[in-house]
Structure 1
Amino acid sequence: MSSANTAEAFLAMHQGRAPGDPLILPGPWDAASARIFADVGFPALATPSAGIAASLGYEDGGGTPVDEMFAAITRICRVVDIPVSADIEDGYGLAPAELVERLLESGVVGCNLEDTDLATGQLKDPQQQADWLAQVRQEAGKRLVINARVDTFLRGETTTDGAIKRAKLYIGAGADVIYPLLAPTELVTELAQGIDAPLNVAFMPGGPAPAQLGELGVARVTFGPGMFHEAMESLRALSERVRSAQPRT
């Protein structure tokens, strides 16, 4: 199957979802976790930049050397035969042509691109971000599903106005999916109704279950580094049990 057809198949997974049945994409941080998620039967995967960064010993937010990030993504794609989307933060300063080339070489069929400038920690100008997304789309054609992350809620906005304005610009630039990070649950339906594209929402511990998010209008549920953190807590608990069973000297 060509990369274009795979990307189109991946995009189709987002469309026409029944209420309460969103696309659920677990977040692998390495090849081993990717294999487990694929073996369990998930139809596709979405890598978290924070989980990969932590697994490599770096901080999230641009702290991972770009070559190491793409190498990790490539290893994940190599061991599964289902679509993989990659969180590549704000693009690491790569020109659109190089960014698309590296994504396709890694084997992914989709990517997250956020509108926070990692160098400053501030939101990018929405029109400049839309113009940049349009260049990425032009380079990618139909070979990548672009998930445009909108960080207005992350930066303290409390209404949907800014998020919807940015989403419309990004959709016009060629984004396929919109991801309003940390959108409050009570605003999700308003966002879904105001945005003419599939909506991606992150599952949060203690928040609505994925099926409930689907009932609110969400088409795609991801987990960020949540599964990585759960796995590390389980490993810590196991380590503590093993350590406590050893005789003290």
Structure 2
Amino acid sequence: MSSLQEKATTFRNLHKKGDPLVLYNIWDPGTAKVAASAGAPAIATGSWSVAEAFGFPDGEKLPRDLAMENINRISKSVDVPVSLDLEAGYGTTPEQVAQSITLAGQNGAVGVNFEDQMIDGDGLYSIEDQAARVAAGRKASDALDVPLFINARTDIFLKATPSDDKKKLLEEAIARGQAYADAGADGFFVPALTDAVLIKELCEKCSLPVNIMMMPGCPSVSELADLGVARISHGPGPFRAAMAMIEKDCSTLYDK
């Protein structure tokens, strides 16, 4: 695979309902190369992992320039499609989101995630405001030589409390998914949704390929495939597992 266009086409085609793209989220060129050499058909970063690897907390505290330098290095280190976790687009306005997506494409990414939660704010952007941000990202992406796969993420379930009515949350998620699709999104990411019945309903009612994140309580990869999921992410899990192994080894080496 040589050209960015070929990578973009491949990445888009990997999103198949019932035969999901499984992404083991990485954080730097080294981990990207390991995943690619093991057979990963595509590479995706996780913002929490990248931020922690560089010594920053999550939540767009990692400078955007550093995030772009990192994705540039990752994209040059592997010969498979690369997608960037862009958090909330590194900006509140549609224009700022558009600029970030343009930079992602210019640095070798063929896909981006960006979410509808307000960084350093309270709650989520309204459906109308987030749809406008998605639309601006779509316009910026289409102006590039190679348009990006925009995976619109909603944090409805990630922000939910145990007492929230999950059925009502799903109804809002479906409404957001449709609005983001109408604005030009290519995929719909709903982290923290783990209930199999609700996942199936989302996959049936959402017009976009659905992305689910592996976490405690989530169905297995094969079960998610049967439910109609088109993309499966591992989020910060790989980074946490790697750090736990290093901590264990160090504790053994330096135990006094």
TM-score normalised according to structure 2 size? 0.89
Residue 181 of structure 1 and its aligned partner are, at CA, apart by 1.6
Residue 207 of structure 1 and its aligned partner are, at CA, apart by 3.0
Matched residue, 2:69: 71
Residue 2 of structure 1 and its aligned partner are, at CA, apart by 4.3
The equivalences for 1:8-87 within 5 A come to 8-15=9-16, 17=17, 19=18, 21-87=19-85
Q: Secondary structure at the match of 1:136?
A: helix
Q: Secondary structure at the match of 1:140?
A: helix
Deviations 1:13-32 (A, max 9, x none): 103x4x3x321111111111
Residue 112 of structure 1 and its aligned partner are, at CA, apart by 0.3
User: Are 2:89 and 1:91 aligned?
Assistant: yes
Residue 206 of structure 1 and its aligned partner are, at CA, apart by 5.0
The equivalences for 1:58-207 within 5 A come to 58-93=56-91, 95-141=96-142, 143-156=147-160, 158-159=166-167, 160-186=170-196, 187-205=198-216, 207=218
Number of aligned residue pairs = 242
Q: Distance in 1 between matches of 2:200 and 2:179?
A: 20
Residue 91 of structure 1 and its aligned partner are, at CA, apart by 0.8
Residue 119 of structure 1 and its aligned partner are, at CA, apart by 2.7
Q: Which runs of 5+ in 1 are unaligned?
A: none
Q: Which runs of 5+ in 2 are unaligned?
A: none
Residue 4 of structure 1 and its aligned partner are, at CA, apart by 3.7
Residue 97 of structure 1 and its aligned partner are, at CA, apart by 4.0
Does the 8 A contact of 1:29 with 1:48 survive in 2? yes
1:229 to 240, 244, 252: 240
TM-score normalised according to structure 1 size? 0.92
Q: Secondary structure at the match of 2:58?
A: coil
Question: Structure 1 151/206 Cα, relative in aligned 2: closer, same or farther at 3 Å?
Answer: closer
1:83 maps to a residue whose letter is: P
| RMSD of aligned residue pairs (Cα, Å) | 1.6
Q: Which stretch shifts more, 70-79 or 191-200?
A: 70-79
Does the 8 A contact of 2:60 with 2:87 survive in 1? yes
Does the 8 A contact of 2:32 with 2:77 survive in 1? yes
2:156 maps to a residue whose letter is: T
2:10 maps to a residue whose letter is: A
Residue 96 of structure 1 and its aligned partner are, at CA, apart by 4.0
1:212 to 214, 220, 223: 223
Does the 8 A contact of 1:73 with 1:106 survive in 2? yes
2:171 maps to a residue whose letter is: D
Question: Structure 1 97/179 Cα, relative in aligned 2: closer, same or farther at 3 Å?
Answer: closer
Q: Distance in 2 between matches of 1:82 and 1:179?
A: 21
Residue 6 of structure 1 and its aligned partner are, at CA, apart by 2.5
Does the 8 A contact of 1:34 with 1:76 survive in 2? yes
Give aligned-pair identity as a percent.
36
Does the 8 A contact of 2:14 with 2:20 survive in 1? no
Q: Distance in 2 between matches of 1:58 and 1:82?
A: 27
2:40 maps to a residue whose letter is: F
